[in-house]
């Protein structure tokens, strides 16, 4: 605990998060700040009136952060609800964009002009990105709730990076992204989607 660390090691502890558990089962989230007091610095004697060494001292401040935790919980709930609600309309837009692309490639329906084809492809890409952002928002709520799951599978890291880099390269003209690998194939047991997130970040 922050208080023990301060009095035992002389360490100053700042903004340490703790939960006080009451006997009736209720809890109180607090932020703790603890600063050890050095008798020498304060000009005090290091010994008491009977010549014994003074007990270690510290100033400890507990700040009730219940309101802050409630606000965080409400924020997480809102993000979760908003992300779930976004999924349905995005799925419809993406579905129709892909249908238009496929039907045009198969020669069914009216032939799209080049600019129309390009516009539909851009809609499809943008919708894919929005779906990914929605999943990222849901990941935030999963992380907060300790429910984020990893799905590891044998994955070629070199191929994964080669797939991700061109997508990242188009986001910048002032940087040139290159890949250097010690081997043509490096296979590891990982969650490929999560690693793509890491590379993108």
Residues 6+ away with beta carbon under 8 Å from 17: 29, 30, 31, 32, 65
Task: Record the pTM.
Answer: 0.52
Pick the range with the lowest mean pLDDT from 5-14, 90-99, 151-160.
Answer: 5-14
How far apart CA 171 and CA 167 sit, in angstroms, is 7
User: pLDDT per residue over 78-115, tens digit each?
Assistant: 888 888 888 889 999 999 998 988 888 888 877 888 89
Confidence tier at 42 by pLDDT (50, 70, 90) = low
Q: Strand order in 13-21's β-sheet?
A: 13-21, 27-37, 57-64
Confidence tier at 30 by pLDDT (50, 70, 90) = very high
Q: What percent of the chain has pLDDT over 70?
A: 92
Average pLDDT of the chain, as a whole number: 85
Confidence tier at 158 by pLDDT (50, 70, 90) = very high
User: pLDDT per residue over 60-78, tens digit each?
Assistant: 999 999 998 888 888 888 8
The residues that bridge with 29 in the sheet, in sequence order, are 19
Find, among 32, 84, 81, the residue nearest to 58 by Cα. Answer: 32
More confident residue, 40 or 98: 98
pLDDT for res 47: 59
């Amino acid at each position: 605990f922050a208080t023990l660390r301060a009095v035992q090691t002389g360490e100053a502890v700042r903004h340490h998060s703790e939960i006080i558990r009451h006997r009736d089962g209720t809890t109180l989230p607090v932020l703790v700040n603890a600063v050890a007091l050095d008798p020498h610095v304060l000009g005090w004697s290091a010994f008491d009136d009977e010549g014994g060494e003074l007990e270690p001292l510290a100033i400890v401040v507990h700040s009730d952060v219940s309101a802050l935790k409630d606000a965080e919980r409400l924020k997480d709930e809102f993000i979760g609800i908003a992300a779930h609600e976004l999924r349905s309309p995005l799925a419809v837009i993406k579905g129709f964009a892909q249908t238009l692309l496929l039907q045009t490639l198969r020669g069914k329906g009216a032939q799209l002009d080049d600019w129309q084809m390009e516009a539909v492809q851009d809609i499809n890409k943008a919708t894919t990105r929005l779906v990914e952002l929605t999943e990222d928002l849901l990941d935030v709520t999963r992380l907060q709730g300790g429910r984020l799951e990893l799905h590891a599978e044998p994955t070629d890291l070199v191929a994964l990076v080669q797939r991700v880099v061109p997508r990242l390269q188009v986001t910048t003209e002032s940087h040139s992204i290159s890949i250097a690998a010690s081997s043509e194939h490096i296979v590891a047991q990982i969650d490929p989607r999560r690693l793509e997130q890491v590379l993108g970040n």
